[in-house]
Every structure is written in structure tokens, then in C-alpha cells.
Structure 1
Amino acid sequence: MWKWEADGQAKAVVAVLHGAYENHRWYAWLIEKLRMEGFHVVMGDLPNHGTNLQFSRVHDEEFKEYNKYTRQLIENAFSYELPVFIIGHGLGATLALHMMQKKKYECAGIILSSPWLQLKLQPGKLSNALISISALTANMKMTHEIDFGKLTRSVEGKEEMKDDFPFLTVVSVKWYRELQMMMKNIIVIPKGDFPNRPMLVMTGERDAITDSRMARYWLYQQELTEIQYKEWPKSYHNLFHEVEREEIFIYMKDFMNNVLRSVGYIIK
């Protein structure tokens, strides 16, 4: 993982978890915006993504590897001894929720972009049936039919997604089964069991990949004292690559600054 330090005195640290099939290079714009606003940024690539991409040409890594990476990323952010915000997008948002429920980190706030809690677009036509079939099918491969056109309507955003790493959306049944189990376990978290931290959830009205209704339902079921939910009209799945991303960033920045003010920081 890597660290990008704030331009000037830092007021907080942001740990960023990218989504499935992505890599940290996609987030260069977001990282720079955060730096310019006084935030250190800690980010890397999920196992078998980006610089960690293996030669299998299929995502069949175990979710315990994701969990280990998520824990290390968050704890790395705390090493600065500054308030820590966690930003998770897509699968990264799901991993952030899982780790927060498990470890209950004393972070300043949590920001979720298009969290994967229930998918509209599922890999493979037989995916629902296959997840309950025996281990004989575990290595069977399915294609998650996600392309740049489903992620954003911004030409600039699509260009930022084109890099040296292949956009690999082939997954094994085992991988998808683990994903489904994690999403289900998060949805059924008992009331009051999730740590009470300020939370902002943002979704896109035209997201064709994940069901924003489940994200909204989950958020309102939690006993949190400070929550914000924002659905961006016309936006697709990848909000930080969308046409409205400047406005989206300002909305998120205001949330973080308000949280910092509430704990005694002077924000200009």
C-alpha cells in the first residue's frame, strides 16, 4: 500500500478501499483532491487486483485475504495519530462494513460509495443456483458483465480507468459464494451491534450494478446517531468517476469537515 501526504498540515487521514476489478490508479483524481484539502491518504490494491494481480486470469482469491488487507490498511491509517475516515467503494464498502463490525475501530467517520449489499447485475446466468451447489462447482468460472459504460457516463472517467492492468471480471463460483455470504451477514447485523460512527452513504440513481434500495434500507436500520444518505440523480455506479464528481466530492468533504468540527477541530 502507499501513502500520499496532505498538501500542508494534515487534519485527518483517509483510508480508501477500491471496488472489485479496480486498482488504486483509478483513484488518482480523488487522492489529489483529498491531499489538497488537508487529508493524508492511505491506499493500495486488493489481493489479486492491480499490482497484486496474479496469473490466474480469474478472481478466486479467498475473502480472508481481503479481510487481512482491509485490517492492515485501516490500522496503517491510524499510525498517523490523526482522525481517520474510511472511504469504501463497491466491494470496498462491503469490506469496510465487515471489518468495522468485527473490529469496531474508533474512526472519525465512514463513507460508502455504491456499497455491494445486494447486486442487480450478477455474474453468470446460473449464479443464484450455483452458490448452493456442492464444492464440485467451486472452481467453475463466471463472467461479471461489467464494462466501463456501466460504471460511468463520463468520457473523462472512462479514460481514467484505462491503464496497464487488465480489467478482469471473471470470477469463480467459490469467490461469488463468499461474496454472497459476506453481504448477507452484513444485512442481518442485529440492531445496535454495528459501532456508532458518523456515516455517509452515497449511491447513483442509475446504478445498474448494485441495488441502492438495500444500502438505504441497511443504513436506516442501524442505530447510528449521525447518518447521511444521498442518491445522486442520473449517476451510475462509480461516483468518483462521474460527470458530477466535483459536486460529489464537495458533499463528501463537507461531511468530513463537519465531523471534525464536532470533535473540536477548527476547520477553515
Structure 2
Amino acid sequence: MWKWEADGQAKAVVAILHGAYENHRWYAWLIEKLRLEGFHIVMGDLPNHGVNARVSRVHDEDFKEYNKYTRHLIENAFSYNLPVFLIGHGLGATLLLHTMQKRKYECAGIILTSPWLNLKLLPGKLSNALTSLSALTANVKLTHEITLKTLTRSVEGRDEMKDEVPIMSVVSVKWYRELQQMMRNLVLLPKAEFPNMPMLVMTAEKDSITETKQTRNWLQQQEFTEFQFKEWANCYHNLFHEVEREEIFVYIRDFINNALRRIGYIIK
């Protein structure tokens, strides 16, 4: 777990949870933008991601490890005794939803980008039904054909994602079963079980990885008293690496500042 602190007095803390096959270094641009706006940032790498992914070369980790890490991340953010905002991307957004449903942390707001609630791009040649996995043993390996070109159309964004830890998108059937179960549980989640707090959900019009309509439907079925939905035209899955990311960041910054104003903070 790493922490980047704002210069001077911070307005709030932002905890960031990255997506599947990523690592925290991909978010250097976003971290610096938030820090310069007066926010502390807390972030790390999901289990078996980042440098740790070099060891196994396949994602077979138990989702209980992901859930434990997510709780640890959020609780680290609360250690500052400041308002806490959560940003989750892709699988990270899904993990935040799952954890908030179970633990109901009192956050100032949640920001989700391209959440995995229903995948369009599946590992291997599987159908979307859980029953399609029944004939495969848990340790069978599947390749999730996610590349930098499927994540962003921005050359600059793809360059930022190239580092010494390449994308490792080979997963076990066991891992995929757990992912599918988590997504299904969230989609079928009773409205009353999710805490009512400010929510910003953003998707990408040309996302080839997730079903964005499922995300919109999920949000509209909830009973949040305050929420925003934005689909960014022409964008691919990784919004923080897209051509329009400056505009996307302003959207997030304004959401956070407005949420802080509503709880009594003076924002200049």
C-alpha cells in the first residue's frame, strides 16, 4: 500500500482500486492530478498483480484475497480522519460495490469507471452462462484477450501502460467462476442492501470489454438519492488513459468538490 499526500492541508482522501491485470503505476497521471487538487491518495496493487504477478503467470487467486485487500485499502484511507472517496475501475469497481454492500463504510462518495457487471469480452471461447464452465476443471487456464489497444485509443495512454510488468490476462476457470458469481450477485442485489451515498458512474461508448447497458440498468434500479451517470462518446474501456481524460478528470473533481460542499466543507 502506498500513500501520496497533498501539498498543504488536504480536503479529503481518495482510495483508488485498479482493474484486473493492471497495477498502480498505470494511475500515476490520475494520482498526481488528484494530489495537486488537494487530496491525499491511497493505492496499492491487487493480490497477484503488479510485480507479484511475475511469480505465477496466471490469475488463480481466491476472491477472498481481493475482498480482504479492498477492506484494507479503505480502512487505510480512513486513518487520515478526513472525508473518504473511493474510485474503482473495471474489476476494482466491482470489488468496491461488493465490499460496500457487505461493510457499508461511511464514505463521502463513490466513483466507478467501466465496472465489470457483465462482460462482453470473455476469457477463451466461453458463453456467458455459468453452466458453460461445468465441464471444465477449476485449474484449466483461459486467456482473456485484453490488449492495450482494447483499453484505449490514445497512443499516449498506451505508452503509459507499458512498463516492466506486462499485462498478464491468463486466468483459471476457478477465478472466472468466482468473478461471474460476484457479478451476478451484484446485479441481483436487493436495493436496500447497498448504502445510500453520492455515486458517480462513468462508462465508455466504445467499451469492447463490458456491457455498458447493464451498468446503466443497475444504477437506475438502485434507490440512491444522489447519483450521476455519464457515458463518454467514442471512448474505450480505460477512461483515465483516453484522449478526453482531462475533461473526465474535471468531471470527477467537480463531483468530489460538490459532495464536500454538501457536508459543510468550503471549497474555493
TM-score category of the 2 structures, normalised to the smaller one:
over 0.9
Q: C-alpha separation between the residues in 1 aligned to 2:166 and 2:249?
A: 27
Match of 1:40 in 2: 40
2:197, 2:51 → 1: CA distance? 32
Counterpart of 2:230 in structure 1 is 230
**CA 129–249 in structure 1, closer or farther in 2 if over 3 Å, else same:** closer
Residue aligning to 2:166: 166
Structure 1 residue 127, shift from structure 2 partner: 5.3
After the TM superposition, which residues 141-160 of structure 1 pair with which residues of structure 2 at under 5 Å, given as runs?
141-160=141-160
Equivalent residue runs for 1:61-140 within 5 Å: 61-126=61-126, 128=128, 133-134=133-134, 137-140=137-140
Cα distance in 2 for partners of 1:83, 1:23 equals: 25
Matched to 1:15, the amino acid is A
1:221 matched to which residue of 2? 221
- Counterpart secondary structure, 1:67: helix
Q: Which residue number corresponds to residue 201 of structure 1?
A: 201
Output the TM-score relative to the length of structure 1. Answer: 0.97
Q: Look up the SS of the partner of 1:137 in the other structure.
A: coil
Q: What is the root-mean-square deviation in Å for CA atoms of aligned residues?
A: 1.3
CA–CA distance in structure 1, aligned partners of residues 13 and 60 of structure 2 = 31
AA paired with 1:55? Answer: V
Give the Cα separation in 2 of the matches to 1:188 and 1:101. Answer: 12
Deviation at 1:7, TM superposition (A): 2.1
> Contact 1:205 / 1:233 at 8 angstroms: preserved in 2?
yes
Q: Would you say how many aligned residue pairs link Structure 1 and Structure 2?
A: 268
Q: Secondary structure at the match of 2:192?
A: coil
Contact 1:131–1:176, Cα closer than 8 Å, also in 2:
no
Q: Return the offset for 1:192.
A: 1.8
Note the C-alpha offset of 1:52: 2.7
Structure 1: how far apart are the matches of 2:219 and 2:152? 24
Distance 1:115 1:130 in 2: 19
Q: Percent identity?
A: 76
User: Residues 59, 131 of structure 1: CA spacing in aligned structure 2 closer, same or farther, 3 A cutoff?
Assistant: farther
Does the CA contact (< 8 Å) of 1:130 and 1:137 recur in 2? Answer: no
SS of structure 2 residue aligned to 1:250: helix
CA shift in 2, pair 1:156/1:79, >3 Å: same
Preserved CA contact (<8 Å) 2:133 2:173? no
- Distance in structure 2 (CA, Å) of the matches to 1:79 and 1:46: 20
Partner of 2:23: 23
Counterpart amino acid of 2:77?
A: A
**AA paired with 1:199?**
M
**What are the Cα deviations for residues 65-120 of structure 1, in whole angstroms up to 9, with x where unaligned?**
00000000000000000000000000000000000000000000000000000000
Cα pair distance change 1:131/1:7, threshold 3 Å: farther
CA distance in 1, matches of 2:80, 2:203: 30
In structure 2, the CA distance between the partners of 1:219 and 1:6, relative to structure 1 (3 Å rule), is same
Equivalent pair of 1:88/1:113 in contact (CA under 8 Å): yes
CA contact (8 A) 2:191 2:221 kept: yes
Compare 99-108 and 120-129 and name the one that shifted more: 120-129
Do the aligned residues in 1 keep the contact of 2:117 with 2:187 (CA within 8 Å)? yes
